Amino acid sequence: MEPKELIFNKVNGSFVDGYGIRTTIFLKGCPLHCKWCCNPEGQSFQQQLRYLADDCNGCGACVPACPKGALEIEDGKAVLDRGKCNLCGKCIEACWPGALRYAAQLQSVDEVFSSIIREKPFFDHSGGGLTIGGGEASSFPDFCLALIAKCHGNGIRVAIDTCGYTLSEESLKALDAADLLLYDIKGIDEKQHIENTGVSNKRILDNFHHFTEIGKPMIVRLPVIPGCNDQPEDQEKVIQLLKNAPNVERVDIIPFHTFGSVKYGELGMPYPMPEDAKPLTEKDVADYAQRLRDAGLNVQIGG
Ligand code: SF4
Ligand code: SF4
């Protein structure tokens, strides 16, 4: 049977997820829980209900629609008791402003493919293609392999955005099948990595060395997060890792931002970063970029 997975976003015309003009799809589910994650809806492998309080006009239509009594109106806004909710979706149908919605849609490989094939002229013109992100794309190897095969059969190149934490041979096969990897390095110190993401980085680094050995083209992404991995000694360890990896075509430094913080509230999740987290200054980021360039790497800020 054709694989189906939960997709929580799709972006056409992206310039930041690989080379050229790209379409990026985001698969729902990730083995990591990074403190700075800007796509918290991509963490759980399960469907979730988002409640966008700003879009709620207090009409109350969702309250009688809910068979579980999980919704009520307080001070002109709906209030959701997630402990009672079974994700039946009745309130979504009742809520015409769209304040209640599923976090993701279940889609087949065919459905995804038919929505991206129309972008092919842009891919061809720009050297772009499809990027499969998440969440963690390699957690869905059957879906990725089937979609990559379809894209390759139609002349579309595919990148996978990965945290590198692949647990199975099938997942490695999916990453191997991509033309390009966008590979996140979130830190070299193992203890710090566990604190920041919930998992050891041993497998991530082992897989990084595997892909270097086989010469897999790679853009490495370096999130630079205050209090997590932004000290000079953290940066030096990253430089030492990357300078001996000829398959790394580019390094993208991703400065800390809080763009996704509002989504935590919509999902009923606490935002893990401290409110007063201070990102590196532009000068500090530029200095880091220069030290990477001095090590012979091609560096971009942002991406
Ligand atoms: S998804 Fe179903 S159970 Fe959950 S709040 Fe909406 S109507 Fe109630
Ligand atoms: S139906 Fe939608 S807009 Fe109306 S109260 Fe419920 S959540 Fe708010």
Cα 78 to ligand 1 centroid, rounded to whole Å = 12
Share of the chain above pLDDT 90, in %: 91
Q: Whose CA is nearest to atom 1 of ligand 2?
A: 95
Please name the amino acid found at residue 43. Q
CATH T-level assignment (fold) for domain 49-102: Alpha-Beta Plaits (3.30.70)
Residue 3 has pLDDT above 80, yes or no: yes
**Cβ atoms of residues 23 and 11 within 8 Å:** yes
Cα 273 to ligand 2 centroid, rounded to whole Å = 30
pLDDT, position 278: 84
Cα 96 to ligand 2 centroid, rounded to whole Å = 7
Task: Please indicate whether residue 68, judged by its CB atom, sits closer than 6 Å to ligand 1.
Answer: yes
b/e burial code for range 188-200 (CB count within 10 A of at least 16 → b): beeebbeebbebe
**Mean predicted confidence (pLDDT) in 158-177:** 95
Burial class (CB in 10 A: 0-12, 13-18, 19+), 302: exposed
Distance CA 288, CA 274 (A): 23
Task: Please indicate whether residue 181, judged by its CB atom, sits closer than 6 Å to ligand 1.
Answer: no
Reported confidence tier of residue 267, pLDDT bands at 50, 70, 90: very high
**Average pLDDT for the chain:** 96
Between 1 and 165, residue with greater pLDDT: 165
pLDDT, position 97: 97
Closest by CA to 196, choosing from 166, 226, 232, 220, is 226
Q: pLDDT digits over 41-77, tens only?
A: 999 999 999 999 999 999 999 999 999 999 999 999 9
Residue 1 has pLDDT above 80, yes or no: no
pLDDT, position 135: 95
Cα 91 to ligand 1 centroid, rounded to whole Å = 5
**Cβ atoms of residues 249 and 127 within 8 Å:** no
Q: pLDDT digits over 104-133, tens only?
A: 999 999 999 999 999 999 999 999 999 999
Q: Whose CA is nearest to atom 2 of ligand 1?
A: 88
Share of the chain above pLDDT 70, in %: 100
CATH T-level assignment (fold) for domain 4-45+104-301: TIM Barrel (3.20.20)
Task: Please indicate whether residue 78, judged by its CB atom, sits closer than 6 Å to ligand 2.
Answer: yes
Residue 259 has pLDDT above 90, yes or no: no
Residue 98 has pLDDT above 80, yes or no: yes
67: left (phi over 0), alpha (psi -120 to 50) or beta: alpha
Going from N- to C-terminal start, the domains of the chain cover 4-45+104-301, 49-102
Residue 275 has pLDDT above 90, yes or no: no
Distance CA 227, CA 34 (A): 13
pLDDT, position 82: 97
